[in-house]
Amino acid sequence: MSNSSYKLVIVCLSLPVLVLLVALFNGLDGHAIDLHAVLAQMSGSHLLGTDALGRDLLARLSEGLQLSLMVGITVVFLGGIIGISIGMLAGWVGGWLDALLMRFADIVLSFPGILLAIAMAAMLGPGIENLVLALVAVGWVGFARLARVQVLSFKSVPFVEAAIANGSTAPYIAVRHLLPNIAAPLLIEASFGLAAVIIGEAGLSFLGVGVQPPDASLGTMIREGTRLMLVSPTLVIWPGLILFSLVMAVNLLGDALRDKLDVRMDTK
């Protein structure tokens, strides 16, 4: 990754980090309603203005950013555990179990991910917990397929065969020998998966099946702001900029990890 790309990562991260720091150090409350300051412009008391209920926009952006990161990290963590476990099991055991698990993964992949997440979120009902479950249900497949391929490539290497000959159990081999060697591509998958989950959370919240008011989400803020775009366009511009900057920074960091950890990218 070039120096200019690293500078672009820093530029993309600067806006979300600045919003978080300013809101946290000033102790702003994104739920405090002030009907005397409805749709206020930028000022000393409200640095980015207020929304239709007089709530501080900077505080709402900070809370929405924190929620997006919390949901993203939680979904990637849970989806990674489920997907890696299924993929390693399928690759190690093979046979009919491998075929069954991978056909199930293919079925999940046959549906557009966002549509499947919308359907599940609609069936489970709105809320952060159900949003996480819906995103995990579609987010584990990438980890499973990647883990399976990696395990298949390492099953016949000498150190794994030696561990089997010494009588080591499959769980011990998986944790002690396989996971450390397949961690790099899984970490790259997690970084790109985080960006996809952040977009998915914002999209579901925008459609009304994700985070619900009064909780702040970048997606719900954009949805609420669209009704007042002609009056106060900043209600859409600011959460859109924060979402764009965050996703761009995560994707660029994923590129950096791939260039650093993936030996196939090494041209030396």
Establish if 90 belongs to a structural domain: yes
Establish if 77 belongs to a structural domain: yes
Establish if 23 belongs to a structural domain: no
Q: What is the DSSP string of 44-85?
A: SSSTT-B-TT--BHHHHHHHHHHHHHHHHHHHHHHHHHHHHH
Establish if 47 belongs to a structural domain: no
How many domains in the chain?
Answer: 1
**Domain region containing 223:** 71-265
pTM of the model: 0.89
The answer to whether 114 and 200 have CB atoms below 8 angstroms apart is: yes
Please report, for the domain that includes residue 121, its CATH number. 1.10.3720.10
Establish if 1 belongs to a structural domain: no
Q: How far is CA 151 from the centre of its chain?
A: 25
Per-residue pLDDT tens digits of the chain, which is 268 residues long: 556 666 777 888 888 888 888 888 877 788 888 888 888 888 878 889 899 888 999 999 999 999 999 999 999 999 999 999 999 999 999 889 999 999 999 998 888 888 888 888 888 888 888 899 999 999 999 999 999 999 998 888 888 888 888 888 888 888 888 898 888 899 989 999 999 999 999 999 998 888 888 888 999 999 999 998 889 899 999 999 999 999 999 988 888 878 777 655 454 4
Establish if 146 belongs to a structural domain: yes
Q: How far apart are CA 164 and CA 174, in angstroms?
A: 11
Establish if 43 belongs to a structural domain: no
Q: What's phi and psi for 136, nearest 5 deg?
A: -65, -35
Establish if 161 belongs to a structural domain: yes
- Map tokens 């997006």 to a residue: 68
Q: How far is CA 228 from the centre of its chain?
A: 29
